[in-house]
Structure 1
Amino acid sequence: MNFEPLKNTRIIDTALGKEVDKIPVWIMRQAGRYLPEFRELRSRFDFFTMCQTPQLAMEVTLMPIKRFDLDAAIIFSDILVIPQALGMDVELVSGRGMVFPQPLKSPMDIDKLLYPVDVKEKLNYVFEAITLTRHNLKGEVPLLGFSGAPWTLMCFMVEGETSSTKSKAKAWLYKYPEESKKLLDLLTDVIIDYLVGQIEAGAQMIQVFETLAEYLNKSLFDVYCYNYIKKISKCVRTKLKEKNIPEVPMVIFAKGAHYALKELSEAGYEVVSIDWTINPEEARKLMNSNITVQGNLDPCALYASSDTLREITKNMVQNFGKTRYIANLGHGIYPDMNPDNVKIFIDTVHSF
């Protein structure tokens, strides 16, 4: 597609275990509501219109890159575009968040999903946004693509809206184990094609978000998360090889899955991202030594005073060490964050 050569390769090199001049840093949800320029654009367009309009998605993706010295951009989109592609309605409702007017109430509802999915048709707007953004980045930093992982998507589809317990989705695992696997298999197949499509379109690194892993114990995680996480990495790489497309580094972020760090480091991903509840030194001991680690500043630390934030960030970097480390938050940035503190975080990481 004649993209310009990549000038900043820190995050790619670090993911592959190469030495870099500075620790790379990016922030989950870095293109979002904490930026005044995002809020101004959002005042004119609804959320999913922004996701589904390549020009707007490109503009939002570039906003933090223009403002901060970040080492990667991540395409502006949402993990719930996959349920939408399966025919489910999703609405962003003020005060409630993402809402499914007709969630999956029983396993019989699985048959109502529009499957199989032609991702080139249903999700082409994401691929167009990625290609457009790559051209407009002009090689300044790599562009990341992403997807929600199967269990996390299943939770949203069954719960219907934000839940503090995920009890409806977890009930499926106990009441309908085989039907749950059917749904997770279906989602996995779509995710694989979706990620391959993103890489074809120009994504230079991929992150898979198993954001709701924290609601499961180890035995449930092994059956209803881990097997699918492994399959995604393996099958994405197989399909890329079949298409003669070079592989890209892949990141797995399973929030709260501290009990499965060793397994996650053996799941076929170059990078394992960890949340803020895990001690970096302990995480490294649990994981394979050939894995790059990403994380793990508590997003709330960005509320601290400038001096305190610098000190917390320095301690984090020292605990991780400079080798095979990508600095990030332990989850997404909050919408009321002061962008000045984001700059302090980024500049402090780059001072090492």
Structure 2
Amino acid sequence: MSDAPLLRHLRGERGESEDTSAPVWFMRQAGRSLPEYREARGTTAMLDACVTPALAAEITVQPVRRHHVDAGIFFSDIVVPARLAGLGVEIRPGVGPVFDHPIRTAADVDALPKLGDDYEAALDPIREAVGLTVAELGTTPLIGFAGAPFTVASYMVEGGPSRDHLRTRALMRTEPETWHRLASWVAELSGRFLRAQVLAGASAVQLFDSWVGALGADLYREAVLPHSAEVLGAVADLPVPRIHFGVGAAHLLRPMHEAGATVVGVDHRMRLDEALEILPEGTPVQGNIDPAVLFTSEEVRFAEARAVLAAGAGASGHVVNLGHGVPPETDPQVLTDLVAFLHAQR
């Protein structure tokens, strides 16, 4: 497993020998774009599927089977750890994660569940699902997954999806102690969730911060970086690459790396060669085909792929991905053909 192309690139060991094509996987590759996913999940609620070991394992493996990508990404959601800890949360179709009771005051934070042995036991279905997935994947690595403290805590404060995160950003400024206590709780939640996946067999991890682009660099360093660092620190003693990815976060690449990432994901808004000028020398990168090209012609898609490969050519390691997740309307054959094209490039 350690010689898998994806892991060599994530470790910054891009070789010049027999296999110099960039490995590829796609964020949200397991999910609504696949008919086999819809069939397997059926009427099972999203969060229930995430904690049903055999079903989560099957969904994780489906895109590897179909697209021949170089890694599986563990099928989960950023709010799964909160649900396992006992919070009331559901994913409403067409809306997204919605919490029963938003967390907006110091008293709300005081009332959060203690993360003791009960939470550790609640992670057993995750361990089982990872074990089943790893056995099925064989020599294909599995990437563990968790949501970063800012994004998860924002869902908790807002109560659900938000376009501007005003309540969260206001809380960070008006009640910084309350914010830090909440973010620290989420950091422990996500850190233990990631660690459970690695100890059960995941070969790398990704910390996903989908809303972090809403913050300026100063506020990120003060109010977010320490908590993201706590999550990544939960697996820092384990021999796995740590990918950190944020949406709209080109201005935060350096501090996100400082949080403890060994690999930095870059979305489609910044060229990889420009990102490499910002990041410390030798940092492997992941990215960053614009998801919009999945809905264009093959000529346009392949031209975009070649441009991304060229921009990442100077990196010590480059794992090809999209600049965000696979849209649910994507034709699966488009992804399969894109993977084959990328694997054919030298």
Give the TM bin, normalised by the shorter chain. over 0.9
Alpha-carbon deviations, 1:103-152, whole Å to 9, x = none?
A: 2132211122111243431222111100111111122x101111111111
Which letter does structure 2 place at the counterpart of 1:204?
A: S
Which letter does structure 2 place at the counterpart of 1:127?
A: R
Which letter does structure 1 place at the counterpart of 2:303?
A: E
Alpha-carbon deviations, 1:218-248, whole Å to 9, x = none?
A: 11111122122223333422xx4xxxxx421
Residue 107 of structure 2 corresponds to: 108
5 Å matches for 1:115-194? 115-118=114-117, 119-139=119-139, 141-194=140-193
Residue 6 of structure 2 corresponds to: 11
Distance (Å, rounded) in 1 between the aligned partners of 2:304 and 2:51: 38
Distance (Å, rounded) in 2 between the aligned partners of 1:7 and 1:204: 8
5 Å matches for 1:1-352? 6=1, 9-20=4-15, 21=19, 22-118=21-117, 119-139=119-139, 141-237=140-236, 240=237, 246-321=238-313, 323=315, 324-352=317-345
Q: Which runs of 5 or more residues in structure 2 are unaligned?
A: none
1:290 deviates by 1.7
Q: After the TM superposition, which of the residue ranges 327-336 and 103-112 deviates more from structure 2?
A: 103-112
Identity of counterpart residues, as a percentage? 32
1:265 deviates by 3.0
Distance (Å, rounded) in 2 between the aligned partners of 1:279 and 1:286: 11
| SS in structure 1 of the partner of residue 269 of structure 2 | coil
Which letter does structure 2 place at the counterpart of 1:350?
A: H
Deviating above 3 A after TM superposition, structure 1's stretches of 4 or more consecutive aligned residues are none
**1:185–1:42 Cα change, 3 Å:** same
Distance (Å, rounded) in 1 between the aligned partners of 2:12 and 2:28: 25
**How many residues are matched?**
339
Alpha-carbon deviations, 1:166-198, whole Å to 9, x = none?
A: 112112112211110011112212222222211
When the two structures are superposed, what TM-score results if normalisation uses the length of structure 2?
0.93
Distance (Å, rounded) in 1 between the aligned partners of 2:24 and 2:89: 32
1:37–1:63 Cα contact (<8 Å) kept: yes
**1:333–1:189 Cα change, 3 Å:** same
1:54–1:126 Cα contact (<8 Å) kept: yes
Distance (Å, rounded) in 2 between the aligned partners of 1:259 and 1:350: 31
1:266–1:288 Cα contact (<8 Å) kept: no
| SS in structure 1 of the partner of residue 100 of structure 2 | coil
Q: Which runs of 5 or more residues in structure 1 are unaligned?
A: 1-5, 241-245
| SS in structure 1 of the partner of residue 235 of structure 2 | helix
Distance (Å, rounded) in 2 between the aligned partners of 1:224 and 1:301: 35
Residue 243 of structure 1 corresponds to: none
